[in-house]
Chain A
Amino acid sequence: MKALSALDPLLEHRIRLGACVLLTRHGELTFARLKALLQATDGNLGAQLRKLEERAYLQSRKDFVERKPTTWYQLTPDGRSALNAHMAALRDLIDASGSAQ
């Protein structure tokens, strides 16, 4: 099916997809905030975010919030367009499965 091949394998993981959706909605989020919202463990979230960063889907910066070191994440333009394409493929897939029933 065409819609299946259009899905981005990197965004098929629920934590990676969730992180990208949240960053699209909020702009910039800390690691701690993403962890709380996605209900993920430090290790799992860190590994998934690193994969997204390696593909330049998101970028991070270090900062201090009330003297505590904090990492902030935001989507890059590449990440945004990849997410849009993935969401469009998901919609096509849902539409196709609806018409097949």
Chain B
Amino acid sequence: MTDVNKLQSDLDYISNTLREDATAGGIPALYFMWGGLIAAGFSLPDFAPQLAGIYWLVAGIGGGLFSWWLGERQSRRQGVKNARMAQRYGLHWGLMGAAFLLCFLPLLLGRVSPEMGGANFLLVTGIGYGLAGVHLERPLLWCGLLMLTAYGVLVLLMPPYTWTITGITVGLSLLWAGLSRRAALRAAGDAA
């Protein structure tokens, strides 16, 4: 084999190795967990508003810590420790957490109606998940787009039980993202 052919063969081997890396992508259990937490938590203002604050205090912080722990465990099991990627995840979801807190502000100050306040959460969640799909995990892109579509419907039609509809929409889209991610992982496992 000539030097040029050997070089080409080596470069093909390296690029195939990088392409075959299946570590990128989310953990289905986290999609299912957050789908359930959000569906239940967003329904509370419609049915038990006195519980919503304490629910999110516990579920938000507890869910965040559990997600971090599960991500760390998964990463160690897969044999990959990517500090730069972990920092990107931390920054992204940290910014989303801050945006969620800011969504409460107009509601607390009475600047928006509870219906519009609920819809704002869906808008922020849709943008956050959509951008996570662009930069972190592809299944979240479609999930984010679905949430943004639901936001448009909510604002145009303003149906009753806005919070519940918001929560169920987010929950279902996360369930869908989790199922598609799990199917992709199984397909990758079967192919290996």
Contacts and interface: CB of A to CB of B under 8 A. Distances in A.
Nearest to A27: B82
Interface stretch (B6-14, B120-128, B166-174): B6-14
Given A14-B13, A17-B10, A33 B80 contact: yes
Contacts of B18: 21-22, 25
Given A21-B18, A37-B17, A37-B20, A26 B80 contact: yes
A94 to B, nearest CB: 8
B187 interface: no
Contact of B79 (A14, A30, A93, A97): A30
Given A27-B84, A93-B7, A33 B14 contact: no
B50 interface: no
A29 B79 contact: yes
Interface string B32-73: 000000000000000000000000000000000000000000
A70 B10 CA distance: 28
Contacts of B13: 14, 18
B78 interface: yes
Interface residues of A, number: 26
A38 interface: yes
A14 B77 CA distance: 26
A66 B14 CA distance: 30
Contacts of B20: 37
Interface in B68-126: 76-85
B191 interface: no
Q: Is the interface of A mostly helix, strand, loop or mixed?
A: helix
B25 to A, nearest CB: 14
A49 B84 CA distance: 23
Q: Which of A26, A38, A70, A97 has the most CB of B within 10 A?
A: A26
B80 A28 contact: yes
A97 B4 contact: yes
B21 interface: yes
A27 B87 CA distance: 12
Given A37-B20, A37-B21, A65-B76, A17 B14 contact: yes
B23 interface: yes
Contacts of B7: 90, 93
Interface of B: 4, 7, 9-11, 13-14, 17-18, 20-21, 23, 76-85
15 contacts: A18-B17, A21-B14, A21-B17, A26-B80, A26-B81, A26-B85, A27-B83, A27-B84, A27-B85, A28-B83, A37-B21, A65-B77, A70-B79, A90-B7, A90-B11
Those 3 A-B pairs whose CB atoms lie nearest each other, nearest first: A33-B79, A30-B79, A28-B81
